[in-house]
Amino acid sequence: MNGGAFGPRRFAFGCGSGRGGPSQEPSSVANGMSDVDPVPRVAIVIPCRDEAVTIRQVVEGFQRSMPGAAIIVCDNASTDQTASIARAAGARIIEEPRPGKGRALRRLLADVDADCYVMVDGDATYDPTTAPAMVAEVLENGVDMVVARRVSDGSAFPGGHTLGNQMLTFVFQRLFRLRLTDTLSGYRALSRRFVKTFPVLTQGFEVETDLNAHAASLDLRHVEIDSTYTSRPTGSHSKLGTWRDGFRILRRMFRLFRDWRPLLTFALVGLAFVAVATTFAVPIVVDFIETGLVERQPTLIAVAVAYLLGFGMISIGMVLERIAQMRREVTRLLYLSLPAQRT
Write the pLDDT tens digit of every residue in 259-295.
989 999 999 999 999 999 999 999 989 888 888 888 8
CA distances from 17 to 43, 46, 277 (A): 12, 19, 68
User: How many Å apart are CA 180 and CA 163, to the nearest integer?
Assistant: 16
- As assigned by CATH, the class of the 11-257 domain is alpha beta
Provide the 3-class DSSP secondary structure of residue 189: strand
Which residues, 6 or more positions from 302, have their beta carbon under 8 angstroms from its beta carbon? 280
DSSP string, 259-294: HHSHHHHHHHHHHHHHHHHHHHHHHHHHHHHHHS--
Write the pLDDT tens digit of every residue in 225-263.
999 998 887 777 777 766 777 788 888 989 999 998 999
pLDDT number for residue 138: 95
Q: Are 68 and 17 in contact (CB under 8 A)?
A: yes
pLDDT number for residue 76: 92
pLDDT number for residue 153: 67
Strand ranges inside 115-220, DSSP E: 116-119, 145-151, 188-191
Beta-carbon count within 10 A of 332 CB: 15
CA neighbor of 25 nearest in space, from 11, 39, 15, 35: 11
Which residues, 6 or more positions from 315, have their beta carbon under 8 angstroms from its beta carbon? none
pLDDT number for residue 154: 62
User: How many Å apart are CA 121 and CA 117, to the nearest integer?
Assistant: 13
Buried b (16+ CB within 10 A) or exposed e, 203-212: bbbbbbbbbb
pTM above 0.75, yes or no: yes
pLDDT number for residue 34: 38
CA neighbor of 269 nearest in space, from 310, 308, 301: 310
pLDDT number for residue 82: 93
pLDDT number for residue 2: 43
User: How far is it between the farthest Cα atoms of the chain?
Assistant: 90
Residues of the chain with pLDDT under 70: 1-40, 153-161, 241-242, 342-343
- Domain residue limits, the chain: 11-257, 262-337
pLDDT number for residue 60: 96
